Chain A
């Protein structure tokens, strides 16, 4: 591995960091290689080792580590949504607001669930129509063709619909999580500082 390979791998492994942090880290290592000079390049590469480990070291010190990592998966976003709900209840001063927010979140959940179920219903309908068509094949071939055709169309729409809705669900979840994260970003920064204070 040479310098450029190291830097591009490092860059790829820092994807989860905010743009500015990533630029900063990359710039530091680029300069580091330049200042060390070509003759030291190999020994530095040997000592730095795996770019993934170097990236992990950088990210472990990033202020929003837990939140940055959890935002990428639906599960992570879902648990962030739960944290929103729970932490809203923990604040006794804003109970009416809390209730309204919970109801909104719940409503969004229900709508998304209904939309996904809708997709599954279409898939079921597709299977039903094809079976119905095949059952009457001895009486009327044209009816069979019509039913199977309609069933297939329904199935196609159903598959597209379901995929679209699953995508929408993911987007909604991560959108909610992101909004929440932005709000607590400052608090997380503060906690990080306190934690570090305790470490020392």
Chain B
């Protein structure tokens, strides 16, 4: 992909995935990787940051004799996601205007 993916985009994608259902690190990474070209090591810092900002919480669930850490979106996280969606729509429209509409 030629366009750069920034911190806000990663935050928004993670929050979107978690907005649908709670999930764990590996699945989360695969979901985001389906859309964006990120590496396997990209998401840990993102998750940690979102957690520190209390946009998401974690809980452990036993799975095959070990614990799996699930991530869940919080109400702060949902509010943040709403902001991102509004902001994205605005940004997307402006870029569309510029690149596709010829409004320079």
Give residues in A with beta carbon < 8 Å to B: 21, 24-25, 27-29, 31-32, 34-36, 44, 47-49, 53-54, 57-58, 60-61, 63, 193, 196, 199-200
Contact = CB atoms under 8 A, between A and B. Distances in A.
Contacts of A53: 41
Contact of B39 (A48, A58, A61): A48
Nearest to A44: B40
A31 B52 contact: no
B69 A47 contact: no
Nearest to A40: B26
Contacts of B25: 28, 31-32, 35
B interface residue count range (under 10 / 10 to 19 / 20 to 34 / 35 or more): 20 to 34
Interface string B14-38: 0000000000111101000000000
Contact of A31 (B6, B7, B69): B69
Contacts of A47: 39-40
A31 B68 contact: yes
Given A31-B26, A61-B45, 13 more contacts: A28-B44, A29-B44, A35-B27, A36-B26, A48-B40, A57-B44, A57-B45, A58-B44, A58-B45, A60-B45, A63-B52, A196-B7, A199-B7
Contacts of B24: 31, 35
B48 A61 contact: yes
Contacts, number: 58
B41 A48 contact: yes
A35 B66 CA distance: 11
Contact of B44 (A25, A35, A49, A63): A25
A48 B43 CA distance: 12
A57 B48 CA distance: 12
6 contacts: A32-B25, A35-B24, A47-B40, A57-B41, A61-B49, A63-B52
Nearest to A55: B41
A158 B37 CA distance: 62
B40 A32 contact: yes
Contacts of B39: 47-48
Most buried by A among B40, B42, B48: B40
